[in-house]
Amino acid sequence: MSTDPAVAQGFDFSPWTFWTDVPGPEQERQLAWQGEQLGRRPGWAFGDRALLSRFASVDNEVLVLGPRSYVAAGAYLTGSVTTGRDCSINPYAVVRGNVVIGDAVRIGAHTSLLGFNHSFADPETEVFRQPLTSKGITVGNDVWIGSHVIVLDGVAVGDRSVLAAGAVVTKDVPAGAVVGGNPARLLRWRVPPAGAASDAAGRGRDGDLAASLRAVADRARDQAYDVIARCWDPAVGLFADRPGVAPTVRAQCDAVEIADLLLGEAPTQLPADEQLARLRAWQDEATGLVAELGADLRCGRPGAGWPDPVESYHILSVGHALSLLGSGFRVPIRFAARLSADELVPALEALPWGDRAWSAGHAVDAWATALVWNAAMGEAGVSGTSDALIGWLVRRADPMTGVWGRSTAEEGLLQPVNGFYRTTRGTFAQLGLPLPHPQRVVDTVLAHAQDTRWFGPGRHTACNVLDVAHPLWLTRHTGHRAEEVRATAARLAVDVLGQWQDGAGFGFRATAPGGRSADTVPGLQGTEMWLATLWLLADVLGLSDELGYRPRGVHRPEPAPGTAHAT
């Protein structure tokens, strides 16, 4: 092997075989060069057989090169740059700002990853004198970035994607996508998402999905009387969720919702005015709450203070059933009417946001919905309490995830995502207010929807899919990661469509390949929730008209009538 310095310098520009083909003295010179840099740069670290060309312009506060990663001659790096293993930053590439790169990422010559931006809000100040901003750039694993690509600040590039030469990437790149152009758009899939209908072949599947939506909706309408009738117990004159279980308050409300959704009328088992009178009579005069039916099929006395989980949901289900029947509660819901901001904030702080965000969101949903029903009756509540609730939620939403609560090893993102749905359903969605961090919500929900513990074959439940569908629907106006959102909605819609059981409806849980359980038996709750979820997923795909119905109850898409704000 030649020891000519000019030959050695050639490996600075083409360093991929440096550690196998360059003579030992030149390798020792590289290690000494690295040691010199590490000695005076506390924020730098190099993995085994990493390479930093002496002819690169590198001025980083933080520079971490994983094993077998290299920076070639002519590259220009500043800020905080971190790579995983087997990465390349080829000649004359520019990587600046806050940039985090995964494993096996190759960056072509003359490409720029710009993890910062110039602000220009003040027209009286020259742009170069105004502050810099930085959202940062993240690049996943196994990504190929061609030559002359530009990636702008704030972009996340998904695993196993390809950025074609010359692309100008201004928005997030879905995992497995091949993008190109200015601005970059999806060209095809290197690794298609499961169930995606997003590539050229997918356009044909969209037609198939539309036909499937129509078919299931038509079957549901044709069979609606049977679905409702199988849950009616004529001996006691009440609905149960499914045959063989005790009647509940919620079952009466679910029957009203299904009949309204599919038939445009009240359930025919009783005259509508009798159903209305019974629901209104169940409201407790002293608290305004509705307790669960006891063994004697009468409502008990609700507890004092913030309602328990069952009574909390009755604020939603009974209130919306009354609304669909053309009426409302008889008296205000007292705990909401009397709650002051000074009492609310400690109550919010005490909710289990850290590890049980669904329960916390359930409580917030009940309080906010109670406020809506009270306002419809002319009971405005204590001044400032509603504003305190929204302000607290805005301040406490995690700007990195857009949600409340944290991921756990046991459940992943299940609690934060499900809690986000319940929290925002009653507040931001019901009041017509914009979300604090909608794009980060999309990121979080898409990541959660890939968790096979909750979205693998036979593992779907109506709650878990609804709690993905509604946030994706609520954030659809952002256009953020739109192709991935559509692919996820299409995959979940196909899974839902396959669960309808003729004459009975939907079970709460999808039927697992290995058998059935109690919550896979079709019932009113599962049927009501899945029909609403299917509408949300179809609307994300622009196909909701195929269903011929639109939810008007608990899961209605519009803000509550009379709210003062607009999305």
Region class of 548: left (phi > 0), else alpha (psi between -120 and 50), else beta = left
Q: Which residues are CB-neighbours of 476 under 8 A, at least 6 positions away?
A: 482, 485, 540
Query: Beta strands of 15-153 (E only): which ranges?
Result: 44-46, 51-52, 57-65, 70-71, 76-82, 88-89, 94-101, 106-107, 112-115, 117-118, 132-133, 137-139, 144-145, 150-151
Q: Mean pLDDT across the stretch 179-195? A: 79
Predicted pLDDT at 567:
30
- Map 39-66 to HEC letters: HHCCCEEECCCCEECCCCEEEEEEEEEC
CA-closest candidate to residue 535, choices 481, 471, 473, 460: 473
- What proportion of the chain, given as a percentage, has pLDDT over 70? 93
Tens digit of pLDDT for each residue in 219-263? 999 999 999 999 999 999 999 999 999 999 999 999 999 999 999
pTM, full prediction: 0.66
CA-closest candidate to residue 456, choices 501, 513, 507: 513
DSSP 349-384: HHS-TTT-HHHHHHHHHHHHHHHHHHHHTT---STT
The domains located in the chain, with CATH, are 5-189 (2.160.10.10), 230-331 (no CATH)
Residue tagged 């690794």 (tokens): 191
Q: What is the DSSP letter of 559?
A: P
Catalytic residue among 118, 448, 460, 477: 118
Residue tagged 């008889």 (tokens): 330
Single-letter residue type at 298? R
Lowest-pLDDT choice from 154-168, 308-322, 550-564: 550-564
CB 164 within 8 A of CB 124: no
| Main-chain phi, psi angles of 142, to 5 degrees | 55, 55
- What proportion of the chain, given as a percentage, has pLDDT over 90? 69
Are β-strands 185-189 and 76-82 bridged in parallel, bridged antiparallel, or unpaired? unpaired
Predicted pLDDT at 123:
86
Predicted pLDDT at 193:
64
Reply yes or no on whether the pLDDT at 510 is more than 90: no
Q: Mean pLDDT across the stretch 510-518? A: 61
Q: Rounded to the nearest 10 degrees, what angle do helices 414-424 and 357-376 cross at?
A: 10
Single-letter residue type at 55? F
Predicted pLDDT at 207:
59
Reply yes or no on whether the pLDDT at 564 is more than 50: no
Tens digit of pLDDT for each residue in 341-383? 999 999 999 999 998 999 999 999 999 999 999 999 999 889 9
pLDDT confidence band for 430 (50 / 70 / 90): very high
Active site residue 477: no
Q: Mean pLDDT across the stretch 187-191? A: 81
Three-class SS state of 147: coil
Predicted pLDDT at 7:
46
Tens digit of pLDDT for each residue in 2-32? 344 444 467 788 888 788 877 888 888 889 8
pLDDT confidence band for 197 (50 / 70 / 90): very low
- Map 526-538 to HEC letters: HHHHHHHHHHHHH
Q: Mean pLDDT in the chain? A: 89
Cis, peptide link before residue 183, omega less than 30° from 0: yes
Q: Which residues are CB-neighbours of 140 under 8 A, at least 6 positions away?
A: 102, 105, 156, 157, 158, 159, 160, 161, 175
Which pair of tokens denotes residue 279? 């629901």
